[in-house]
Amino acid sequence: MTLTMENQNSSKLKSIFLPFLSTSHIIPLVDMARLFALHDVEVTIITTKYNSTIFQNSIDLDSSRGRSITTHIIDFPSSKLGLPIGIESFNVNTPREMIPKIYTAIFILQPEIEHLFNVLKPDFIVTDMFYPWTVEVAEKLGIPRIMFHGASYLARSAAHAVEQYAPHLKTQSDTEKFVIPNLPDELMMTRLQLPDWLRSHNQYTDLMKVIKESERKSFGSVFNSFYELESDYFDHYKRVMGTKSWGLGPVSLWVNQDDSDKAARGYSKEEEEEKEEGWLKWLNSKPECSVLYVSFGSMNKFPFLQLVEIAHALEDSGHNFIWVVRKNEENEESDVFLEEFEKRVRESEKGYLIWGWAPQLLILENQAIGGLVSHCGWNTVVESVNVGLPTVTWPLFAEHFFNEKLVVDVLRIGVSVGAKEWRNWNEFGSEVVKREDIGNAIGLMMNGGEEEIGMRKRAKELSVAAKKAVQVGGSSYNNMVELIQELKSIKLAKVQA
């Protein structure tokens, strides 16, 4: 039966979005939920009280604009697990001994979440990859489950290739380079740069197999990416996985189009109001394209020796910089050093330290920013592309080393500090990147040479492509329309059955 546009539009979709308990996963999936609400889908986001504070300001803004989007709070089982109130996610300040308890909490919450799926009766669900069990729940309810990937198409393609072909097992040492097989580009890595679950079998290896199987059973997957950014890998991923997938990014660019959105994203309002005047006034006093933005994401801490190397590299570079740093309750020496460093660079007016959370979207858009020093977390990669800035890449954990390959080798909009060793997010690892290597990378990006000129040109071209992708007729816009129409068709077919 042919569906008319009128019939499809009369069938408003209801959805549930379920983000994982980590800021770097919550923010892009909530932005994606807001994107669906912008396209007239009724959205409910299920999360816990303290995780909701990361994004509730944005939801309130969207609701005030007449969009149908709400947050449903479920109680985190803190007392049952002996967790302090407020520890509900995996982040930089999560004490190491509490990590297993948070994983346990996810299992405890599963029946309540399943019950909500039954009560709220959504037409489809969008859930983080770390909730593979939701595909079975969706099957029981007879609705589509869409998996959210918080990584790039290249990263997922590369991980799949390493799983399938195990090229690292053919090398003679941890530092010998190998080519990742069956990819659109010749990308080289070492064993040390692979995630531990790919390097050798562990519990996470088993989890990733379960996640991959749940993706194959799902209706499809969504990525915070856009076709023009990694077109070869978008096509390759769909081909090798044999599943549907939609690139809907850059979601932060699409749903955060004015300063109130950008300021509200990812923080508690009171916290930011205290900070904004300082960093904004300092940035506005600097020449265009003269400031480095240095940030390593929401889940990273460096050991004292590494902080010393970063500080000296920034100071010795001669460039202005904003550095996002975090309190280290396990090492008072680090905090004392950073406080003394902060005082010195404030007096010289060369540097500004932001402690804790930083309004990254607003900072990156400031004309004074000339480039980033970044861990290659996917959210930051996409946000730097949005504004057309090059990056000094410093991958640390998760899929960061794969993302670095996209930024440096494929897109050629970044320069590497030469990080050699993958580590777990809550561990320091043994590698200390020296100030000379950090400084050399900064120089290549900021000192006006041919390499910098080329990187900036390519980054600006990608920024234009990102903006076009989310406009009417753009690749991500068309993907969004296509996905919603498919979901409406499924709903209408059920009604008519």
**Do 92 and 59 lie in a common domain?**
yes
Give the whole-angstrom CA distance, residue 376 versus residue 372: 10
Contact 52, 26 (CB under 8 A): no
The overall average pLDDT reported for the chain is 94
Please check whether residue 295 is in contact with residue 92, taking contact to mean a CB–CB distance below 8 angstroms.
Answer: no
CB 421 within 8 A of CB 467: no
- In this structure, the answer to whether residues 299 and 403 fall within a common structural domain is yes
- Nearest partner of 54 among 77, 81, 31, judged by Cα: 31
The domain total for the chain is: 2
**479/171 Cα distance (integer angstroms):** 41
The predicted structure's pLDDT at residue 266: 65
Helix axes 450-469, 378-386, angle to 10 degrees: 90
User: Residue 308 belongs to what domain range?
Assistant: 264-466
Closest to 441 (Cα-Cα) out of 470, 406, 407, 400: 407
CA 394-395-396 angle, to 5 degrees, is 115
Is 259 among the domain residues? Answer: no
Written as one letter, the residue type at 166 is A
Residues above pLDDT 90, as percent of the chain: 87
Q: Which of 323, 439, 436 is nearest to 372 (CA)?
A: 323
Task: Say if residue 257's pLDDT is above 90.
Answer: no
Task: Please tell me whether residues 239 and 352 are part of one structural domain.
Answer: no
Give the separation between CA 470 and CA 472, rounded to whole angstroms: 7
Alpha carbons 194 and 67: distance in angstroms, whole number: 42
Q: What is the pLDDT of residues 111-142, one digit of tens each?
A: 999 999 999 999 999 999 999 999 999 999 99
Identify whether the C-beta of residue 112 lies closer than 8 Å to the C-beta of residue 119.
Answer: no
d(CA 334, CA 325): 10
- 333 and 293 fall within a common domain: yes
Say if residue 73 is in the same domain as residue 190.
yes
pLDDT at 8: 44
Query: Is there a domain that residue 337 lies in?
Result: yes
Per-residue pLDDT tens over the stretch 167-188 = 999 999 999 999 999 999 999 9
What type of residue is 464?
Answer: V
Q: Which residues pair with 223 in a beta bridge?
A: 149, 247
pLDDT in tens, 300-339: 889 999 999 999 999 999 999 999 998 877 778 999 999 9
Do 315 and 192 share a domain, yes or no?
no
Calpha distance 455→196 (Å, rounded) = 31
pLDDT band, very low/low/confident/very high, at 3 (cuts 50, 70, 90): very low
Above 50 in pLDDT, residue 436?
yes
Asked if residue 254 belongs to a domain, the reply is: no
Alpha helical stretches, state H, 126-268: 134-141, 153-165, 196-199, 203-217, 231-241, 251-255, 259-264
Average pLDDT over residues 341-367: 96
pLDDT band at 4 (very low <50, low <70, confident <90, very high): very low
The answer, yes or no, to whether residue 472 has pLDDT greater than 70, is yes
Q: Judge if 138 and 269 occupy the same domain.
A: no
Highest mean pLDDT: which range of 87-101, 252-266, 406-420:
406-420
Q: 59-111 pLDDT, tens per residue?
A: 999 999 999 999 999 999 999 999 999 999 998 878 888 999 999 999 999 99
Asked whether the beta carbons of 56 and 269 are under 8 A apart, the reply is: no
Average pLDDT over residues 419-426: 92
The pLDDT assigned to 7 comes to: 46
144 CA to centre of own chain: 24
Is the domain of 401 the same as that of 484?
no
Predicted pLDDT at 9: 46
d(CA 426, CA 396): 11
Check whether residue 474 and residue 421 sit in a common domain.
no
Residue 487 within a domain: yes
- Where are any strands of DSSP class E within 237-390? 245-247, 291-295, 320-325, 351-355, 369-374
Residue 1's pLDDT is what?
36
- Asked if residue 417 has pLDDT above 60, the reply is yes
Nearest to 368 by CA among 282, 487, 244: 282
Identify the DSSP state of 169. Answer: G
Instruction: Please indicate, yes or no, if residue 108 is contained in any of the structural domains.
Output: yes
In a domain, 255, yes or no: no
Q: Kindly report the CATH number assigned to the domain that includes residue 383.
A: 3.40.50.2000
**How far, CA to CA in Å, does 62 sit from each of 18, 27, 329, 353?**
18, 15, 36, 31
pTM value is 0.95
Rounded mean pLDDT, 249-270: 77
The interaxial angle of helices 304-317 and 332-348, nearest 10 deg, is: 10
Q: Is 385 part of any domain?
A: yes
Q: Are residues 189 and 170 both part of a single domain?
A: yes
Mean pLDDT of all residues in 160-171: 98
Look at the alpha carbons of 233, 235, 238, 242 in this order and tell me if their dihedral is positive or negative.
negative
User: Which has the minimum average pLDDT: 51-60, 83-92, 185-194, 241-250?
Assistant: 83-92
**484 is a domain residue:** yes
The catalytic residue positions are: 25, 128
Token pair, residue 473, equals 């007729």
Q: How far apart are the first and last CA of the chain?
A: 12
Residues 406, 284 share a domain: yes
Res 2 pLDDT > 50: no
Q: Which of 114, 144, 148 is nearest to 130 (CA)?
A: 148
* One domain for residues 323 and 345: yes
